[in-house]
């Protein structure tokens, strides 16, 4: 990063957020991006650049872990639902194929 110009972004009647207009050079090209940084100037954020095109990458460790946890939870929920549906189907099939009991007199 070669430059960061701090600016205030009005977000509501009582508070403002601060952001940074970043400028950097990648592969001979100058790139810029505005991004909110926090509720006070001097708030540090970690930025990663994509090694292919130089753009800012939002794949922080927290984002990756949260996405993986959500994926595991969703997968477990789908498997549980499928198991319950199969058990229900097999129970209905067993009841339908059960030979009739003796006829009461």
Q: What is the pLDDT of residue 24?
A: 77
Tokens of 75: 């997968």
Q: Show contacts of 19-22: CB within 8 Å, 24+ apart.
A: 22/47, 22/56
Mean pLDDT of 17-28: 76
Check residues 63 and 94 and name the one with the higher pLDDT.
94
Measured from the Cβ of residue 86, the count of other Cβ atoms closer than 10 Å reads 10
Q: How confident is the model at residue 10 (pLDDT cuts 50, 70, 90)?
A: low
Mean pLDDT of 13-17: 66
Q: What is the pLDDT of residue 76?
A: 96
Tokens of 22: 């970043």
Q: How confident is the model at residue 71 (pLDDT cuts 50, 70, 90)?
A: very high
């Amino acid at each position: 990063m070669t430059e960061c110009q701090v600016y205030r972004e009005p977000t509501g009647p009582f508070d403002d957020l601060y952001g940074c207009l970043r400028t950097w050079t990648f592969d001979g090209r100058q790139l810029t991006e505005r991004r909110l940084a926090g509720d006070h100037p001097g708030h540090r954020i970690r930025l990663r650049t994509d090694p292919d095109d130089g753009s800012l990458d939002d794949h922080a460790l927290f984002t990756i872990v949260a996405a993986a946890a959500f994926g595991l939870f969703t997968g477990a929920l789908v498997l549980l639902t499928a198991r319950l549906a199969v058990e229900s189907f097999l129970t209905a099939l067993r009841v339908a194929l059960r030979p009739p009991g003796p006829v009461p007199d």
